Amino acid sequence: MSPIFKDLTNAVRFLSIDAVQKANSGHPGLPMGMADVATVLFKYYLRFNPKNPSWINRDRFVLSAGHGSMLLYSLLYLTGYKSVSLKDIQNFRQLNSICAGHPEYEKNSGIETTTGPLGQGLSNAVGMAIAEEIMKKRFGSNLINHKTYVIASDGDFMEGISHEAMSLAGHLKLKNLVVLFDNNKISIDGSTSLAVSDNYKKRFESYGWSFQEINGHNEKQIYNAIKKSLNSKKPNLISCKTIIGYGSPNKSGKASSHGAPLGENEVDLVRKKLKWKYKPFEIPKEILNEWRKIGERGTLEEKKWNGVFDKKNKKIKDEFSRIIRNKLPNDFDKLLEEKKKKFFNLKPVIATRQSSANVLEEIISNLPELVGGSADLSGSNNTKTKHSSILKPANFNGNYIHYGVREHAMAGIMNGMALHGGIIPYGGTFLIFLDYCKPSLRLSALMGLKVIYIFSHDSIGLGEDGPTHQPIEHFAHLRAIPNLNVFRPADTIETLECWEIALKSSTNPSVIALSRQKIPFVTETLTKKNMCSMGGYELKKTNSNPEITIIASGSEVQIAIDALNKLKAININSKVVSMPCQELFDKQSKEYKEEVIEKNSLKISIEASSIFGWEKYVGLEGVSLGMKSFGKSAPSKTLYEDFNLTSDSVVKLAKKMLGK
């Protein structure tokens, strides 16, 4: 190991252990163990420009083992990112510090993704690598030609999502993906032998990956392994045998260095052992300069790249810039307006999953950045259109991914594609299988990514597949997640409007929940305005002073309309409010809300789902009709009757509430 290399790695180690010590919490073991690997990567290979962290052709670096966050912050500071100062490092884990406990994605900061829940970063990296390949195919390999590097830990590979993501990466032959495995054989409970006996070589080779194993503290071996990976035709796993807490006389190689400060005495001993004579947070000028030189390399690389970009013709440059800036085409609004008119004239009586397919069919050719997929339910979610072409192994000339039965990885991969930029991912499964991808969906919301989840089969209305497939608590669950729009459109017009909002939401993900069963067309008037953008709106009323307001979403809007007609027949005036998106409705003015949900009326809500949350609209005197138990296996219509989700139930209730 050259003396300067040792200094560079020690700068990372000591910034990390001193920050953890000062915060009195955090994880010193990983940065100490992986400092050598990370230094080789940044010194010799990683293409990045701290002066422009968003440069589109940068290599992506993902710290999947997010608990080792100080490794990332140290590298960002040392290489000269403005986003992370020494002061920020001294404020590790303190309120509003960019150096949060676990890396939190921030645009233009060098923190490429939020990690901490183990396994997520790995799936994000697969998404980034796919996005890179798609963009490369579209715009040429002289414009897009970067790699995705990941540091992942034992815990990352124990998580199920790692299997899903790695398996798909192997299938797709994502040769631009390089995973550096911190193979230290230690996790929180102690030796990994307590819980794992996987043969990693066999595991990764069976996925179709290239596998190398090296000493993760040997500069030359690390250098050669990464070099070899650059010419691989497969995704790359480099198992780096490391010592957790490297340099700590009493805690290295032990779980005790994983997730707690080493302690003042031990930190002193590490200083002695690694011959680091500087005070906490002191990085000598010569060493900092060496690191800064590594960071400066990127300026020239980006300049060269700008030269290549400038030579492209205007059309390509404009299109490339448009999708990178996440802007929809100029004529997109006009297209939507035309299609809305067309659907309004057709008034289709179809399942909203079919409505979604019809909307997609009309817009997808105009949005080449839209990349869809499904977790093996393409025909049920209706996510694949006539204009979809399938992404194949080593051939990325497509806009549709067969994710296989891998809901969790699908969501993590969609996050990765959105993070990469230039892609708007959408992916489908049944709403019930939200349970299989929720951890990643939560991160879509936490990171504020434009990811569109298409969840069909959204209620007991799916019928005979029975209670295992009938979502009950899922809307309540989704609506409790901050920064997520949950849409449940009632017909094709609402479906188009919900798609429009989702496509225009740049800082939050969207769920579009769709019915399996055919439902009537309910839109009364054609408006230029996107009615769903208010979240809820008056659909119909029988006079200006309704005694009852019936609020419904999706497939239950028609039940509400039937009830309104039946109430009218017995001289009770009512109104129907369609509520496709509670989150957007809640953002409206008090006046609007009180006007839509008639302040002086009694309220009834109906949704074939848990009633949890509806009380905020119906109030103490109102009643919510919904599901209070699991569903049953039977035809849809029978189930609605069995669970009293009918217009007659609404009428009976209204009469009772009014004392009639």
Ligand X SMILES: Cc1ncc(C[n+]2csc(CCOP(=O)(O)OP(=O)(O)O)c2C)c(N)n1
Supply the residues annotated as catalytic. 407
Check binding of 29 to ligand X (CB under 6 A).
yes
42 token code pair: 């940044």
- Angle at which helices 332-346 and 352-363 pack, to 10 degrees? 140
Check binding of 104 to ligand X (CB under 6 A).
no
Q: Under rule CB under 6 A, which residues in 256-295 are in contact with ligand X?
A: 258
- Name the 3-class secondary structure at 522: coil
604 token code pair: 């009834």
Do 312 and 96 contact (CB within 8 A), yes or no? no
Check binding of 65 to ligand X (CB under 6 A).
yes
Which of 15, 63, 129, 186 forms a contact with ligand X (CB under 6 A)? 186
User: Is the Cβ of residue 151 or residue 357 nearer to ligand X in the bound state?
Assistant: 151
Residue span binding ligand X (CB under 6 A) among the ranges 133-141, 185-193, 412-420, 517-525 = 185-193
User: Is the Cβ of residue 185 or residue 518 nearer to ligand X in the bound state?
Assistant: 185
The continuous run of DSSP H or E covering 156 comes out as helix 154-158
- Name the 3-class secondary structure at 81: coil
Q: How far apart are CA 335 and CA 367, in angstroms?
A: 11
Check binding of 35 to ligand X (CB under 6 A).
no
φ, ψ dihedrals at 644, nearest 5°: 55, 35
User: Is the Cβ of residue 163 or residue 175 nearer to ligand X in the bound state?
Assistant: 163
Q: How far apart are CA 126 and CA 147, in angstroms?
A: 11
Which of 7, 104, 112, 182 forms a contact with ligand X (CB under 6 A)? 182
CB of 92 to ligand X, least distance (A): 16
- Write the single-letter amino acid at 393: P
367 token code pair: 């949005």
The continuous run of DSSP H or E covering 426 comes out as strand 424-430
Q: How far apart are CA 114 and CA 141, in angstroms?
A: 28
User: Is the Cβ of residue 70 or residue 328 nearer to ligand X in the bound state?
Assistant: 70
CB of 29 to ligand X, least distance (A): 5
Q: Is the dihedral of CA 393, 396, 402, 405 positive or negative?
A: positive
User: Is the Cβ of residue 156 or residue 369 nearer to ligand X in the bound state?
Assistant: 156
User: Is the Cβ of residue 118 or residue 559 nearer to ligand X in the bound state?
Assistant: 118
State the Cα angle at 432 between 428 and 438, rounded to 5°. Answer: 75
User: Is the Cβ of residue 242 or residue 383 nearer to ligand X in the bound state?
Assistant: 242
Q: Where are the alpha helices (DSSP H) in 219-331?
A: 219-230, 264-273, 285-310, 314-324
User: Is the Cβ of residue 189 or residue 642 nearer to ligand X in the bound state?
Assistant: 189
Q: Under rule CB under 6 A, which residues in 202-231 are in contact with ligand X?
A: none
CB of 256 to ligand X, least distance (A): 10
Which of 103, 117, 253, 261 forms a contact with ligand X (CB under 6 A)? 117
User: Is the Cβ of residue 242 or residue 636 nearer to ligand X in the bound state?
Assistant: 242
Check binding of 501 to ligand X (CB under 6 A).
no
User: Is the Cβ of residue 153 or residue 429 nearer to ligand X in the bound state?
Assistant: 153
Judging by DSSP bridges, how do beta strands 452-456 and 510-513 pair with one another?
Answer: parallel
User: Is the Cβ of residue 159 or residue 407 nearer to ligand X in the bound state?
Assistant: 159
Q: How far apart are CA 418 and CA 410, in angstroms?
A: 12
Check binding of 63 to ligand X (CB under 6 A).
no
Which of 49, 184, 646, 647 forms a contact with ligand X (CB under 6 A)? 184
561 token code pair: 């309309």
CB of 247 to ligand X, least distance (A): 15
x/- site string to ligand X, residues 140 to 179, per CB under 6 A? Answer: -------------xxx---x--------------------
Check binding of 253 to ligand X (CB under 6 A).
no
288 token code pair: 């900092």
Q: Report which of 161, 177, 159 is spatially closest to residue 169, judged by C-alpha positions.
A: 177
Residue span binding ligand X (CB under 6 A) among the ranges 42-50, 184-192, 231-239, 553-561 = 184-192
Residue span binding ligand X (CB under 6 A) among the ranges 182-190, 336-344, 413-421, 532-540 = 182-190
Q: How far apart are CA 407 and CA 375, in angstroms?
A: 6
Check binding of 461 to ligand X (CB under 6 A).
no
Check binding of 188 to ligand X (CB under 6 A).
yes
CB of 255 to ligand X, least distance (A): 7
Check binding of 252 to ligand X (CB under 6 A).
no
φ, ψ dihedrals at 425, nearest 5°: -85, 140
Number of residues in contact with ligand X under rule CB under 6 A: 19
Which of 13, 47, 60, 67 forms a contact with ligand X (CB under 6 A)? 67
Q: Report which of 327, 329, 328, 363 is spatially closest to residue 343, judged by C-alpha positions.
A: 363
CB of 258 to ligand X, least distance (A): 4
- Name the 3-class secondary structure at 362: helix
Which of 118, 512, 531, 576 forms a contact with ligand X (CB under 6 A)? 118
- Which residues is 486 bridged to in the sheet? 511
φ, ψ dihedrals at 557, nearest 5°: -65, -40
- Name the 3-class secondary structure at 533: helix
Check binding of 408 to ligand X (CB under 6 A).
no
Which of 187, 517, 523, 553 forms a contact with ligand X (CB under 6 A)? 187
- Name the 3-class secondary structure at 578: strand
CB of 605 to ligand X, least distance (A): 36
- Angle at which helices 264-273 and 3-23 pack, to 10 degrees? 180
φ, ψ dihedrals at 95, nearest 5°: -55, 130
Q: How far apart are CA 640 and CA 627, in angstroms?
A: 10
CB of 103 to ligand X, least distance (A): 12
Which of 26, 50, 116, 428 forms a contact with ligand X (CB under 6 A)? 116
Closest-by-Cβ residue to ligand X is: 155
Check binding of 416 to ligand X (CB under 6 A).
no
Q: How far apart are CA 46 and CA 623, in angstroms?
A: 59
Check binding of 244 to ligand X (CB under 6 A).
yes
CA 358 to chain centre: 25
Check binding of 245 to ligand X (CB under 6 A).
no
Check binding of 536 to ligand X (CB under 6 A).
no
Residues that bind ligand X (CB under 6 A): 29-30, 65, 67-68, 116-118, 153-155, 159, 182, 184, 186-188, 244, 258
